[in-house]
Homo-oligomer: A and B are copies of this chain.
Amino acid sequence: MGNRFLLSELAAKIGAVLQGADAEVDGIAAIEEALPGQITFLSNPKYARHARGTKASAVIAKEPVPDAGCAFLLAPNPYHAFACALELIHPPERPPAGVSPLASVHPGASVGRDVSIGPFCVLEEGAFLGDRVALLAGVYVGKGASVGEDSLLYPRVTLYHGVSVGKRAILHAGCVIGSDGFGFAPSEKGYRKILQVGTVEIDDDVEIGANTTVDRAALGVTRIGRGTKLDNLIQVGHNVGIGKDTVIAAQTGISGSCRIGDRVMIGGQVGLAGHLEVGDGVMLGAKAGVAHSVSAKESPAWSGIPAVPHKTWLRMAMLLPSIPELFRRVKRLEEGKSEKEEGSR
């Protein structure tokens, strides 16, 4: 159970209007699973029928659903109102401030006020944590690496030397920031490693998923912009720049030196070749293989391998299963033609 609120109270806090009977609630659940005493939400009006069957005390929605037996919390952006309600009913728990005696903190590291450092964390020389940063168990903060205030790092996050993470970041378990970029010079005696002497800078309000990897620049900086969200198991190559408020789904790979704009949306398992630009606001469909720079001006969305405008891809993908039939039709045409030709001789 979460915190208890009157619906009227909750409405005021999340910027919604209560329509229906006031009641106490202390939980939140999916519309088909919610029970009395809980609220739920309806972000897509096409599922309005679910509101009629729900047992929830109230539904957060844009418009009331006729004939539904529950109250409504009406909000212009129901999903956003739901996000606010969640934080009120289930406020996120932060580990208490304090440094575990089982952590290894170099005397030359510096930490702000009210930080939380879990067991088996390591802060190397020159590492810096802002106020209220929380590191769960086994986090590694390399030499001179820094984490901005209020950031939360889950177990076993690894920050290589010198990288910087902004404020209010959330880094999930096992992600690796600042590993060497993949750079080798071929020579007669095999490949010679190109030292990767650059770094990584992650701006404020970024979230990075579990086991995602972000390589440090060869020279210069790999950058992730403010408010950008990366899902799990993503690869970000060296010298990549990602803009603000961009979202990238799981298992996508971004090759070295790509420039990704602001408010870009990238689906899962997308791959981008090196040194290309993805313009502001572009959408890349899941599994796309992007081989050249793309902009929203040319097409708002891109799909396919190699990626083409999404509409082109849709038309073509729909017809691909009919290719064998097309071959037969062409063959028939050729035979018809040759029959005539033969007939005309």
Q: Which of A's residues lie within 8 Å of B, judged by CB?
A: 2, 28-30, 33, 77, 79-80, 82-84, 86-87, 90, 92, 100, 102, 104, 118-120, 122, 136-138, 140, 154-156, 158, 160, 170, 172-174, 176, 179-180, 182, 184-187, 190-195, 197, 205, 207, 209-211, 213, 215, 219-220, 226-227, 229, 231-233, 235, 237, 244-245, 247, 249-251, 253, 255, 268-269, 271, 273, 286-287, 289, 304-306, 308, 312-313, 315-317, 319-324, 326-327, 329-330, 333-334, 336-337
Contact of A195 among B90, B122, B182, B317 (CB under 8 A): B90
Evaluate contact between B232 and A232: CB separation under 8 angstroms.
no
* Across-interface contacts of A186 in B (CB, < 8 A): 80
**Which residues on the B side are within 8 Å of A197 (C-beta)?**
2, 28, 86, 90
CB of A192 within 8 A of CB of B327, answer no
Q: Which residue of B lies closest to A32 (CB)?
A: B220
Q: What are the residues of chain B within 8 A of A211 when measuring CB–CB?
A: 174, 176, 211, 213, 233
Closest-CB distance, A298 to chain B (whole angstroms): 13
**What's the nearest-Cβ distance from chain B to residue A156, in Å?**
6
User: What would 6 A/B residue contacts be, using CB atoms closer than 8 Å?
Assistant: A77-B187, A104-B137, A156-B174, A235-B251, A316-B320, A319-B327
Given known A-B contacts A83-B185, A182-B229, A190 and B158 have beta carbons under 8 A apart: no
- In the bound complex, do residue A100 and residue B104 qualify as a contact, i.e. CB atoms below 8 Å apart? yes
Judge whether A122 and B104 touch: CB under 8 Å: no
* Residues on B with beta carbons closer than 8 Å to the beta carbon of A190: 205, 226-227, 244-245
A235–chain B nearest beta-carbon distance, Å:
4
Structural contact, B327 and A326, CB atoms closer than 8 A: yes
- In the complex, are the beta carbons of B179 and A209 less than 8 A apart? yes
The listed residue (B33, B83, B160, B209) touching A182 by CB distance below 8 A is B209
Give the complex CA separation of A197 and B33 in angstroms.
14
With contacts A28-B219, A191-B229 known, is A210 near B137, CB below 8 A? Answer: no
Best-surrounded residue of A137, A207, A247 (most CB of chain B within 10 A):
A137
Extra inter-chain contacts (8) besides given A2-B197, A140-B155, A191-B247, CB under 8 Å: A28-B219, A80-B192, A136-B140, A182-B209, A190-B244, A191-B229, A233-B235, A250-B253
